[in-house]
Amino acid sequence: MGATENAELVRRGYEAFNAGDLATLSELFAEDAVWYAAGNGVLSGTKQGRDAILAYFGELGARSQGSFQATVLDIVGGENHTVGLQQSRAESDGKTLDVATAISFVLRDGKVVEGREFFEDTAKADEFWT
């Protein structure tokens, strides 16, 4: 797949994520995919495999009472890496999360095989999820 196709796959992933469409997300991730959740908080760390990644996404929704949204600002497609630039927003227990985020995706054979999160303020994100 080329840069345009990779960017479209990532865009479909964002749409599915924001809609809570786990069936589509499951199709987009390789079974052995790896996700690196930034920071040192309760949700940080490496998620090994599609099921662990989807469970992590579910935890983001549960801990934010379903308010977490990743608003796409831009998607930059490449042959080996595709980057999603987003604004991450959520509210929970009187706390608000509103941080710029970048996720680097590695895609192979039409599937996400790796995702790596980068937050503008990792400490703020860690605090929100506690």
pLDDT tens sequence for the chain (130 residues): 789 999 999 999 999 999 999 999 999 999 999 999 999 999 999 999 999 999 999 999 999 999 999 999 999 988 889 999 999 999 998 999 999 999 999 999 999 999 999 999 999 999 999 8
In a 10 Å sphere around its CB, with 0-12 CB exposed, 13-18 middle and 19+ buried, how is residue 114 labelled? Answer: middle
For position 130, what pLDDT does the model report?
Answer: 85
- In the CATH hierarchy, which fold is given to the domain comprising 3-129? Nuclear Transport Factor 2; Chain: A, (3.10.450)
Produce one character per residue of 42-75: b if its CB has 16 or more CB atoms within 10 Å, e if not.
Answer: ebeeebeebeebbeebebbeebbeeebebeeeeb
